[in-house]
A = this chain, B = another copy of it.
């Protein structure tokens, strides 16, 4: 994978909408050696930025110009804007062009876009499952799609060769491509993405309500609260559209989720210690089965925790001594740090052997280090 520079014969791509996803796709495609990445965005300054960052190399003043000659056209605008954008480019597409979108909702979108592109281009719905709480071209990252799941949603009407081309293209960017029925996709993301977002928003609101009478509430909102509500920092327009376009699946899931809530609340009200413990144990076991963020499709990490003095150069010295031994640190996180004194750092390695070697090397340098139990 790492060596295939040209991709599967695709040399001209157009991206319409240069936000986080569009910009990141552009950076990745250019990095993979795609010759021409044309780009359009409704904000001219975004086109400028995309050009400067190297996410596109042919700026276009309008969608029609952008798609001219493109073998693949990627529509990377909010779900609510897809229909009118699609309509506006139809007359300008090469009849062999493959069109895909990156919308987070697929059922309604795929039905709309299939109707628009029928006999005019070869359309396949798509959803790259990568994101960030930061939006916009400034947050674009050529590595965003690496190891991310990229869902394509073919239907009986889909052109099989177009599907294969897109699979190859996104695989060449390092994504793990899977195919799903559009409606099944919507139900699944409603459960693992839209419902969590819905709850995060409601939780932030409840905390805000509380903070009106108890101003310390926001200050005491500890790590758990921040983690649980991180996604509530997402782009409001994008999420408004998701909630509206995936309404049916979200409402269905809310209904079944309310049963869980009602049961839990009843256990608390009734003081049912055994019931609560059972549920909490189940939830912990179930969550342990969710793959880790971004790297979910790579093997589990083998981790060390080191306690080091906090002064310039310490991380460098440590990382250099591991680098000298040919050991690659695949993940690093400063867990806690006290300025002027020291802190704990977690280091991740891809193999148990690398972690064990690193443990020895660091111990021999007199560094306080231990293997993480769950590694």
Contacts and interface: CB of A to CB of B under 8 A. Distances in A.
Interface of A: 2, 129-131, 134, 138-139, 141-144, 146-149, 151, 174, 178, 180, 184, 187-189, 191-193, 195-210, 214, 216-234, 236-237, 239-240, 243-244, 247, 250-251, 253-254, 256-257, 260-261, 264-265, 267-269, 271, 273, 276-277, 279-284, 286-296, 298, 305, 307, 310-344, 350, 373-374
Nearest to A223: B293
Nearest to A192: B221
A247 B227 contact: no
A141 B344 contact: yes
Majority secondary structure, A binding face: helix
Nearest to A258: B261
Given A205-B260, A290-B226, A220 B284 contact: no
Contacts of A294: 223, 336
A290 B218 contact: yes
A201 B244 contact: no
- In the complex this chain forms, how many copies of it are found? 2
Given A178-B216, A279-B205, A342 B192 contact: no
B316 A328 contact: no
B236 A207 contact: no
A265 B253 CA distance: 11
Contacts of A193: 220-222, 224-225
A202 B322 CA distance: 42
A13 B294 CA distance: 44
Contacts of A224: 131, 193, 196-197, 230-231
Given A282-B205, A323-B314, A338-B147, A290 B229 contact: yes
A207 B268 contact: no
Residue of A192, A227, A293 with most chain B CB atoms under a 10 A cut-off: A192
Contacts of A336: 141, 143-144, 146-147, 294
Contacts of A251: 265, 268-269
